[in-house]
Amino acid sequence: GQLDEANAIRARRLAIFDRYAAGFADLEAAGRVRMPHAPDGVVGNGHMFYLLLRDVEDRDAFITHMRAAGIVTPFHYVPLHSAPAGLRYGRTDSTLPVTDDVSARLVRLPMFWSLDDAGVDQIIHTARDWLARSNQG
């Protein structure tokens, strides 16, 4: 069923992505968050939208705030090298500090294609409220 609707799903997800990008652009410019950006000439598929926060404490507090408002914003995936299977079967030649750092600070925003504009705006408003308050002091 979803394959029949693939173009519509992708278009909606890209619209949500663009709405998030516009909603957080000033906070990124101020250095409060970082967002995904596609290289010039590349059009993404709207798979996910994330915010990269200051540190794991900032990320966890953000997730807690959003959950209290009924918005699920999970952290991203556990890096393969530190996942149970990665620890058992994988190997690295050294530590992966950038991967570990980004993993600890990344939080995903809701990105399901049926999310309407009012829902996206509520997510942006709730997130911006916490980000502004947590930036003081």
DSSP letter at 83 equals S
pTM, to two decimals: 0.88
The C-alpha atoms of residue 87 and residue 68 are separated, in whole angstroms, by 34
Using one digit for the tens of pLDDT, what is the confidence trace for 8-23? 989 999 999 999 999 9
| pLDDT for 24 beyond 70 | yes
Angle between helical axes of 117-134 and 56-68 (0-180°, round to 10)? 130
Letter for the amino acid at 26? D
3-class state of residue 49 by DSSP: strand
Q: Looking at the DSSP assignment, which residues form a beta bridge with residue 108?
A: 50
